[in-house]
Every structure is written in C-alpha cells, then in structure tokens.
Amino acid sequence: MSEDGLVEVKAVESFADGDHELVDVRGVEVGVVRDEDEFYAFRNTCPHDGGPVCTGPVSRKLVGEFVGPGERVERSFSDEKIISCPWHGWSFDLETGENVADENIVLPSYDVVVENGIVYVDDGR
Ligand code: FES
C-alpha cells in the first residue's frame, strides 16, 4: 500500500474484460471487476450469506414490464449491468452496488483509480 492510500491491483493490459482481482484493503477483501473499459470495486462479502460476490458473473439486468392483468410480463435486458453472487445468485447493480431486489441492501464500494496503466483501489482515507 502506498502513502497516498492507493492499493495496487495490476496493470490494465493484463486485466481482461470480465475478469476480477481480489486485493486486501486495510484488512478487507475487495474485489475489483473489469467490465469493458470500466473498473468497479466492492467489498467481496455478499450481504446474503458472506459469499465471494465479486467473483460472480457480470451480465445485463433483466427487466420486466407489466402489460396487463393475466398477460405475460414482457421481459428484456437493459443496458444496466449487474454482478451476481456465485453462491445463491443475489445480484447487485455494478454502478451503485444496490441489490436489484432491495435498494436498501448495498455492497460497500471503493473508488478505482487508473494511473500510468496501473489499476489501484483507493483505500478511502
Ligand atoms: S451468499 Fe451471496 S447470494 Fe447467498
């Protein structure tokens, strides 16, 4: 860890799209996830039962539109991305960390900084 509070993760060029890395940030396991050209970091502990949430898959959020009583809900995939815990499938918005079923459940997030081709997590100090 550096004096400026940045924890090195790894080089951008070796961080594949859809990949994740786990780092220790002041004693907390944090998962850093790459989705296309964006990086996200969350505490790697699922609020449901402690699973390694950041090691789960990233996908588009499935949304449904109520069309009328007795009619089938129209479903489609939105542009919003989610990450799903590999243990039981709880899913969280990749931008906000909010659980898709209950916005009051939020994964703690960390700022990610890219400097000189290296990905860092800001330890929040
Ligand atoms: S521990 Fe993550 S969904 Fe159950």
How far is the centre of ligand 1, averaged over its atoms, from the C-alpha of 48 (Å)?
5
SS3 of 101, please? Answer: coil
pLDDT tens for each residue of 22-66 = 999 999 999 999 999 999 999 999 999 999 999 999 999 888 888
Residue 1 lies in a domain: no
Using a pLDDT cut of 90, give the percent of the chain over it: 78
pLDDT for residue 2 is more than 80 = no
Range of the domain at 58: 6-122
The pLDDT mean for the chain works out to 93
How far is the centre of ligand 1, averaged over its atoms, from the C-alpha of 69 (Å)?
33
Please name which of 97, 117, 104 lies closest in space to residue 33, comparing C-alpha atoms: 97
Q: Where are the beta strands (DSSP E) in 12-107?
A: 20-25, 28-35, 38-43, 58-65, 74-84, 91-93
Which CATH number fits the domain that encloses residue 91? 2.102.10.10
Distance of CA 22 to the CA centre of its chain: 12
pLDDT band at 3; cut points 50, 70, 90: low
| 85 CA: nearest ligand 1 atom | 2
| 79: amino acid identity, one letter | D
How far is the centre of ligand 1, averaged over its atoms, from the C-alpha of 95 (Å)?
19
